[in-house]
Structure 1
């Protein structure tokens, strides 16, 4: 009887393991600071929920990401989480997942699908809020006048387009502030450093920098230091409230950043995927709100 019980227990354990939920996760790129935080949050929540996760790095390559999604489908994963390289490619990704009847969750970057079908959801933040919060604080810092430059993320990315449009809308309401330069640095610190160096060399009188993320804002700060300009004398803004960004707020180099909740997005992506796997209905858009961060409240976000 004891042997029979042990055999049955082993069979049950094997059966449970065999039916463990498996989720394929493809991210734009692993070496992005903010996306690393999202990935870590997905991993932590997946572990807490007993989920088997398979992570893939698309390395900023849309073709590679599509292949990764096709591989997940071939492996018959239970759900797929995608942080898209190029949001214009999401209709194709959606089509693949729907045809395979596999739940799909987009995280952090809003898909360009006109509407998301059942069993497909987006977990992220309303980008139209982030740039507005950043822009309004920069207007305060500038006291309503001065020239600014705008550093954009990848132009294939809705977040970059929305954040830039928000800044432009705020500037349009303040006629004494002018955008004298606007160019992409692809979310990258080193590219932003080079871009800021070019603008400094061009001789434009610049009073502020509106960057679409903290990494580019930090690149601008480094370029100013190299040029012998104290960043504290300028009005510099970023978005994401990364650890490095918060450090720059603390030392006074970054006037404002906007907290984008990487943990909330990662956890929300796992939660949405698991609900759909269980057959539960999920809202097509799960909002994770942005929050303004300045010298007055940055300490609150140091542990987030």
Structure 2
């Protein structure tokens, strides 16, 4: 709001001088932008499920960066419920926050949430996921300000490169996916299998869901080993499932190698003790911080133009370079 200050001054002197208007002064409002800049920004973080270590680390990184920037951060946990996430985003819109960082549970429903926020004049960015069904990373939804995420497809390719080195003579391979409906079941697998096909000599004999948990990952690998005792390599698309798979391999006296995704503490520990061959290092704490920084830049005019997908580095990790990946979840 434009502010006007009036200052009166009593001029002592000749009567002619009393007629001078210069004795009264009025501000031009030049201090208004400074007042606006002092307004604390409020950003909402609509998260996936903070009982899961990865989204929880995103939240912690976001909180740290918000504190550094002097931003108020409102964190909400959908607990993996799409309807609840929708309701929480609507609550943030009603609160008239300045921006919303969405950790989408599903790309299709997320687009509707972005549309609602955009219609209310609220900036939206996403982290750890995309908006819009079947959208490619290089083509972000136009109503977003930014995307900060892992290169899921590239990570699958990195896992494939490690698989070729782990089993240079080829052999049978089994894939353990997450819960049904998750995009990662495709994005983390497509380039992995392509790397095997390019090398030649590999056959994917089974694909089963491990539902993102150690227990279900172990059960899936047990089932596969019962039918295919000579599997040479398991690719589990999360470290939790990969660790469970390692337990199944040990119980079956198999020599199969295991590759995971994530760089989680359990995965790094498993690489060190030989349970896993390798993983791909993800950094959710840094990711949350980057998302808050991007939103801050968008709200303060430093980030403009069409939205872009921002990937951070996700290197492959084996026993040879395991200390290079400091677990963030």
Q: Shared topology, TM-score over 0.5?
A: yes
1:87–1:187: structure 2 CA closer, same or farther, 3 Å change rule? farther
Cα RMSD for the two superposed structures? 2.2
Corresponding position of 1:199: 224
Which residue among 248, 256, 271 is the counterpart of 2:293?
271
- Matches of 1:56 and 1:259 in 2, distance apart? 26
More helix by share: 1
Is contact 1:116-1:284 (8 Å) kept? no
Which residue among 56, 64, 67 is the counterpart of 1:44?
64
Where does structure 1 lack aligned partners over 5 or more consecutive residues? 1-14
Corresponding position of 2:5: none
Corresponding position of 1:165: 190
Corresponding position of 2:317: 293
Mapped pair 1:105 → 2:121: no
Mapped pair 1:29 → 2:49: yes
Structure 2 SS opposite 1:209: strand
Corresponding position of 2:212: 187
Which residue among 284, 308, 315 is the counterpart of 1:284?
308
- Matches of 1:149 and 1:303 in 2, distance apart? 26
Which residue among 250, 261, 264 is the counterpart of 1:242?
264
- Matches of 1:203 and 1:300 in 2, distance apart? 35
Q: CA deviation at 1:118?
A: 4.9
Measured against aligned partners, the alpha-carbon deviations of 1:115-169 in whole angstroms (never above 9, x if no partner) come to: 4225521101221210111111111111131111101124433333111111121
Is contact 1:87-1:157 (8 Å) kept? no
How do 1:122-137 and structure 2 match up within 5 A?
Answer: 122-137=147-162
Corresponding position of 1:10: none
Which residue among 259, 263, 274 is the counterpart of 2:281?
259
- Matches of 1:121 and 1:154 in 2, distance apart? 27
Q: CA deviation at 1:187?
A: 2.0
Structure 2 SS opposite 1:296: helix
Corresponding position of 1:4: none
- Matches of 2:114 and 2:142 in 1, distance apart? 8
- From the CA coordinates, give the structure whose radius of gyration is larger: 2
Measured against aligned partners, the alpha-carbon deviations of 1:15-35 in whole angstroms (never above 9, x if no partner) come to: 99x942221112211122222
- Matches of 2:193 and 2:66 in 1, distance apart? 39
Is contact 1:110-1:159 (8 Å) kept? no
Where does structure 2 lack aligned partners over 5 or more consecutive residues? 1-34
